[in-house]
Amino acid sequence: MIDLPGFAKSPSPKAKLSPTHYADLLHFVKPYFSNKPISVVGHSMGGAVTLRYAQRYPADINQIALIDAAGILQRTAFVKHSATDRIPVNPDAMPNALLTYAVGLQDFSNNLIEKMLRLPDPTSLLGKSEIAWGTTLQSYPNINAALSLAEEDFSSAIFEQTKPVFILWGNKDLVAPPRTGQLLAANLAASELTIIAEAGHVPMASHPKYVSTWLISSLNSKPKPLAQPTIETIVTKQNYNCDHSSGETLRGQYARITLTECTGVLLYGVVADELITIDSVIEIQNSIFISKQTSMTIKNSVVMMTGSTVEGSVYLDKARIDFAGVRLAKEIPFKVSTRSRMVLSVSRAGDNRYLHSDLQLENTAY
C-alpha cells in the first residue's frame, strides 16, 4: 500500500496526476518490493490506475482486484448518474404514473445536465501542456487527479486485458455507478463481479469483514465469468410487442421486440434478432441483438445499454442513447437520420475501433 503523489504524505508534483502516469510510477516502484508478478488491488481512482497498470505492464501483474472503480464511464454518463441519483427503471411496486415520472428524470436531455455539460471545460486549455497542467493544479491534487481521470479513455485497458480480474461493487454507490461493474464484468476476459446490496462507494468501511473475506477468497481462486446469454437456434422465437405500458422486464429469446410508448422497460439477458423502440425509455443489460442487417431501430426514444453485443446496424432517428461497454460488430454501426445524441463509454466497433465520446449527429453514418 503506497501513497500516490499528491495524496496522504506524498507531496504534489508539478505534473498531471493521470492514471497512466500513476501506472508508470507503480512500475518504477514495484522492483523495490518484489521481483515476481504481484496481485494489485485498486479502489475508486485506484481501480482505474490498476486497470491501466495491468495493461501497460502485464509482466508485473499476476491478477487484479477492482473495488468500485471510478472514472471508467464517459464524462456525460457519469454526470447523468450523479445529477439524477439514478432511479431504478424497473421497481417492483410503483404506480405507472410515478414510474413514468421517475424514469423521465433519467433522460439525459434534462436542463440541469445540459447546463452542467455546457460549462467551460478546464481540460481543453490545460491539456495542451502537461507543464501548464501540473503548475496550475499543483496545490489542488484532488482536482488534478479528478480532471485527469475524467478525460482518460479506458477502452483499450478493458478490451485488451488478459489478467484475471475480481470485481467488487456497492449497489448503492453514488460515485461510481454499479453499471460500471457490469460493463467491466461483461468485457474483461477473465473476470468475476460480486455486488454488496447495502454498500456504497467505500465497502471496506461499511462492510470490512465481507470485503476481507471476499479479497482473500478471490485472490486464491479463479474468476467465475458472468453468465452470457446463449443463442439456441432450435428454439422457436416469438415476437414481442409492448404498447403504452410501464415497468416490463424481458428475458429470453425473441425474433423481434417492438416497444411503442413504453416506459421503464428492462431487457436483461435477452437474445433477439431485432429491437424497435418508438417513443420509449428503456434499459438493456447483458443482451445480444443478432441480426446482421439492422439490429436496432431507435426512434424518439431514450435507450441505456450496458455490457451487451450488437451484430448489425443501429438506426437512430431523434434518439438519445447511452451505451457503455457495448460491442458493436460493424466498423461503422450507426446510421443517423434526424439529429440524435450519442453518449458512448468504453465501447468497441469492429475489431479495434474504440468509442468513448458524447456526440450529436444527424444525416450521417458513424
The band of 49, judged by pLDDT with boundaries at 50, 70 and 90, is very high
Q: Which residue has the higher pLDDT, 224 or 81?
A: 224
Residue type, 162: T
Q: In whole angstroms, what is the distance from residue 104 CA to residue 331 CA?
A: 32
Q: Please state the domain extents for the chain.
A: 238-365
Q: Are 241 and 280 in contact (CB under 8 A)?
A: no
Residues 328, 311: Cα–Cα separation, whole Å: 6
Helix 19-29 to helix 141-150 angle (10° resolution) is 110
Interval 15-27 mean pLDDT: 92
CA dihedral for 342, 107, 77, 292, sign (positive or negative): negative
CA–CA dist 251, 249 (Å, integer): 7
- Let me know if 132 is exposed, middle or buried by CB neighbors in 10 A (0-12, 13-18, 19+): middle
Determine the pLDDT at residue 1: 86
Q: How confident is the model at residue 257, as a pLDDT?
A: 97
Q: What angle do CA 223, 229, 327 make, to 5 degrees?
A: 85
Average of per-residue pLDDT values in the chain:
85
Q: pLDDT, tens digit, for every residue of 210-256? A: 999 999 999 998 888 777 776 665 566 899 999 988 888 999 999 99
Residue 2 banded pLDDT, cuts 50, 70, 90: confident
The share of the chain scoring above pLDDT 70, in percent, equals 82
Give the mean model confidence (pLDDT) for residues 181-196.
94
Whether the pLDDT of residue 305 is over 90: the answer is yes
Contact by Cβ (8 Å): 280, 259: yes
Residue recorded with cell 432450435: 234
> Mean pLDDT over residues 291-303, rounded?
95
Choose between 78 and 83: higher pLDDT. 78
Task: Output the pLDDT for position 141.
Answer: 75
Residue type, 185: A
Confidence of residue 45 (pLDDT cuts 50, 70, 90): very high
Please, which pLDDT band fits residue 86 given cuts at 50, 70 and 90?
very low
pLDDT of residue 105: 43
Q: What is the mean pLDDT of residues 193-203?
A: 96
> Cα dihedral angle (254, 255, 260, 262), rounded to 10 degrees?
10
Q: What's residue 357's pLDDT? A: 93
How confident is residue 29, by pLDDT bands cut at 50, 70 and 90?
Answer: very high
Most confident of 50-64, 80-94, 138-152: 50-64
Whether 179 has a pLDDT exceeding 60, the answer reads yes
- Which contiguous run of DSSP H or E holds residue 181? helix 178-187
Lowest mean pLDDT segment, chosen from 6-10, 69-73, 165-169 = 6-10
Nine-digit cell at 34?
518484489
Considering only residues 13 and 209, tell me which one the structure prediction assigns the higher pLDDT. 209
Residue 149 has pLDDT above 60, yes or no: yes
Residue 99 banded pLDDT, cuts 50, 70, 90: very low
- Asked if pLDDT for residue 293 goes beyond 80, the answer is yes
